[in-house]
Amino acid sequence: MAVIAGNWKMHMASDQAIEFLAELDLSGVSERHEILLFPPEIYLAALATSEARNPRVQLGPQNIYWEDEGAFTGELSARMASEVGANFVLIGHSERRHVFGETDEEVAHKVRAAQRHGLVPVVCVGETLEERRANRVEEVILRQLNAVIDDLSLGRALIAYEPVWAIGTGETATPKDASLAHETLRERLSQSLGTERARSVAILYGGSVKPSNAGALLSTANVDGVLVGGASLDPRSFAEIAAAAL
């Protein structure tokens, strides 16, 4: 089973979003795979109730706040997202961490809020180019994982390894880079959750995934799926990526 997830970031007009669902042809994609979409949150309700949505496509917001309600202008709670049809949520995406200054502690709060409301958190981790050059990949991704690891035993959770230098740059981690990072994450998960449970935590790779590299990445050891940015905006390339999962 593989997880194929699309993160639309702050892209797509509302009519384009519905059109995407109508045009997404999953007939070549094995039923064993899970298909997730993370649209801008304003489109969630319309996409969830759209007749054009293949029921295989599950939805989630790209971020949440950890309180359920209150005077938090501009924020979205896990409860609200869940009420309009979300089943998953991206947490700690590198753009949240690096553009908006989100900390490991905030990421952990958000993971707990997601779990309280039955949303499966997809926790993103990954090093910057500077950190990679300084040989700090392990240290950084383990620090980010350790911040949430105690909460991962509470329910289903996914991890996405997205090296920051590979996001939106056209640079992809080689299957070997991805495999090493995923192995590091899996080992830490095993220590904390036990081997069996650790195996059930899907670890996705993200960063310039496209139809031409999806097959190699998806057949790499410890890569259980992909989190796709740019190439998920086109239903054909997204379906092609999903079809590359065996």
Q: Which residues bind ligand 13P (CB under 6 A)?
A: 7, 93, 162, 167-168, 206-209, 227-231
Decide whether 11 or 117 has the Cβ nearer to ligand 13P: 11
Q: Which is nearer to ligand 13P, 193 or 208 (CB)?
A: 208
Rounded CA separation 210/241 (Å): 6
Looking up tokens 């410890």 gives 222
Residue of 41, 162, 182, 240 with catalytic role: 162
Phi, psi of 164 (to 5 degrees): -60, -35
Residue type, 29: V
Q: Is position 162 annotated as part of the catalytic site?
A: yes
Nearer to ligand 13P, 193 or 201 (CB): 201
Least spacing, CB of residue 90 vs ligand 13P, in Å: 7
- Catalytic residue check, 93: yes
Q: In angstroms, what is the minimal distance from the CB of 8 to ligand 13P?
A: 9
Q: Which residue out of 33, 34, 41, 93 is catalytically annotated?
A: 93
Q: Which amino acid, 177?
A: D
Cβ of residue 70: shortest distance to ligand 13P, in angstroms? 28
Min CB(3)–ligand 13P separation in Å: 13
Q: Which position's Cβ is nearest ligand 13P? A: 229
Nearer to ligand 13P, 7 or 144 (CB): 7
CA 25 – CA 3 distance, rounded (Å):
16
Q: What is the identity of the amino acid at 4? A: I
Determine the angle formed by the axes of helices 175-193 and 211-218, rounding to 10 degrees.
40
Strand order in the sheet with 88-91: 57-59, 34-38, 3-7, 225-228, 203-206, 158-161, 120-125, 88-91
Catalytic annotation, residues: 93, 162
